[in-house]
A and B are shown apart, each in its own frame.
Chain A
């Protein structure tokens, strides 16, 4: 960076950021620190405020309240062209009238960098498109344009690289490949990446820290594994993967765990994994943690009896069962296709069981379906 002094490098700090459009609050009193050098994902359904947050960091929107710092430098009111921040836009926003070379050189030329040719060639090599310098953006495929958009941003060595749904327009196979490449490039160049996406798989593949956003607020922040294994709200439990959430009441507690009464059956829940402050609790269990078997087969750990298989779908690596419980709730069970389980058919009576530590407990006042079915929208 020619113009950014060392003080502008460092952690990104959003302090009590709020952004309102008229009556609508897109981002609501958000405080967030993104450490330098990390690959950070803002994950959430459309309209959750993640893109607005990104645009405020880029300077394309001005926050209604709050401040943004990079290191010790306050950039809250700085213009986009004054910030050591570059963006990879959704749909790339390449300059259609300029060659690939000039597209990538755009930022360098504006800053009056000397060795433009050398730097552009180097970054084109990094994104594995060294022979495309003379072409026009329209002559490139979607995946190639995506890489050029990335090259155009990282060639400036910004303190912070923002990615706004960068893979949204690519097909599934190309998206998987680009996920791996993006991660590799991030490690290679060592920049801080802030990645906005609604695709939980994309976020989990690439990011080392994920902030799950909902209605302008951060629901939970942590590593992909933390969020997945110990969601703290029903929204996170349902948005990140799938969860079975069942209403229950804590009956008694001793030592490390509590006994939860669930529709007449008893489930044990580790106190350390219970987020509910009252006796009303939502029992959570991930579908792939559950074993499914004939009623007489399974007895160890937590068990729920009286289920009837209502649907079986074979998806290759696993078989997905929908089991209707006596209290008319459908639970999901994913069974690995390792040949260990007898094939069950719709209508079979079954018992579900899982190891006690896999159970997590959420606040009982929450909506069981929060965040479900929200994935996959643009």
Chain B
């Protein structure tokens, strides 16, 4: 009897442990999120409503819960706000236009070179983001091959330059985020059963109709994922505008950067960060709802 009882207690203690086990396994991750995401966010939120200490030094702020900080910050940087979203949208659309044919070719037409081409898509990541962006300064500069070629073809005038322009910023962003567009597109295109394309062909749809009615709808999860992965970092980017742009092409990221590190205006920088985050979150939510691809993912 004693043995049976011991066995029974052991059984219950096992099930008790089983109930706690998932939480124990989650604990490190939750701790990480709390320490390095939740706390900093709360700290940022607190900073965003502070005001300078009267008569204090630069960088001394006191909590006054001044929500008008947000309105002031927005009014001061409307232009950059708009630019961030316009540039990010342009870069996303350009990246989509370049990536779709590329991903399509890799998924359906590359044969044994498939893996090699995928490595090529990812290869730029082996070089630092900054270096890659600086490289574009060279490519679009006077000594690069692009400007002389375009001048020789009379596409641009002899005085026109390409660096330090909106074009350069958008080009840089398109280039830098291209793999984020290509890889999800490839993944969703590659998953399409080629027999569904044959079935479409068999059911009186020619190549174009098959693409429009079957391939494109089936690749929508990749389009949505790719555009999000490109748009979100692009909207918050400041490196491309800093290196490839001019004072008239600054984006919100540049403003946040200078408010934090040069002007040392923490509250405004924090308020702008929050607004950027909120704007992206709202846009993304609307976008996902509208595209209605959740059941395909």
Q: Contact residues of A with B, CB < 8 Å?
A: 58-60, 79-81, 85-87, 89-91, 93-97, 106-107, 110-111, 136, 152-153, 156
Contacts and interface: CB of A to CB of B under 8 A. Distances in A.
B295 A110 contact: no
A105 to B, nearest CB: 10
Contacts of B217: 97
A106 B218 contact: no
Contacts of B196: 93-96
B203 A60 contact: no
At the interface, is chain B mostly helix, strand, loop or mixed?
Answer: helix
Given A96-B218, A97-B296, A80 B195 contact: no
Interface of B: 193, 195-196, 198-206, 209, 213-214, 217-218, 220, 295-296
B201 A80 contact: yes
Q: Which 3 A-B pairs have the closest CB atoms?
A: A93-B195, A107-B203, A110-B204
B296 A87 contact: no
A107 B203 CA distance: 5
Chain A CB within 10 Å — which of B198, B199, B213 has the most? B199
Given A89-B195, A97-B217, A97-B218, A80 B202 contact: yes
A110 B205 contact: yes
17 contacts: A60-B198, A60-B201, A80-B202, A86-B202, A86-B203, A87-B202, A95-B200, A95-B218, A97-B214, A97-B218, A97-B220, A107-B203, A107-B204, A111-B204, A152-B199, A153-B203, A156-B204
B191 to A, nearest CB: 10
A332 to B, nearest CB: 39
A95 B193 CA distance: 9
A153 B204 CA distance: 11
A60 B202 contact: yes
Contact of A93 (B199, B206, B213, B220): B199
Nearest to A152: B203
Given A93-B193, A136-B295, A87 B199 contact: yes
Contacts of A90: 195
Contacts of A87: 198-199, 202
Given A79-B206, A110-B209, A93 B201 contact: no
A87 B198 CA distance: 9
Contacts of B195: 89-91, 93
Contacts of A95: 196, 199-200, 214, 218
B221 to A, nearest CB: 10
A81 to B, nearest CB: 5
B204 A89 contact: no
Given A91-B195, A96-B196, A81 B218 contact: no
Chain B CB within 10 Å — which of A60, A81, A85 has the most? A81
Given A80-B202, A97-B220, A156-B204, 9 more contacts: A59-B201, A81-B205, A89-B198, A93-B198, A96-B196, A96-B218, A96-B296, A97-B217, A152-B199
A246 to B, nearest CB: 45
A215 B220 CA distance: 42
B154 to A, nearest CB: 43
A85 B204 CA distance: 9
A238 B71 CA distance: 87
A119 B220 CA distance: 30
B206 A81 contact: yes
A273 B214 CA distance: 55
A279 B218 CA distance: 64
Nearest to B209: A110
A80 B295 CA distance: 30
Chain A CB within 10 Å — which of B198, B209, B296 has the most? B198
Contacts of B199: 87, 89, 93-95, 152
B207 to A, nearest CB: 9
Nearest to B194: A93
Contacts of A89: 195, 198-199
A171 B235 CA distance: 53
Chain A CB within 10 Å — which of B193, B202, B206 has the most? B202
A90 B199 CA distance: 11
A79 B218 contact: no
B193 to A, nearest CB: 6
Contacts of B209: 110
Contacts of B204: 81, 107, 110-111, 156
Contacts of B203: 81, 86, 106-107, 110, 152-153, 156
Contacts of A136: 295
Nearest to B214: A95
B150 to A, nearest CB: 41
Nearest to B210: A81
Nearest to A3: B204
Contact of A80 (B193, B198, B213, B296): B198
Contacts of B202: 58-60, 80-81, 85-87
Nearest to B205: A110
A236 B141 CA distance: 75
Contacts of A110: 203-205, 209
Contacts of A85: 202
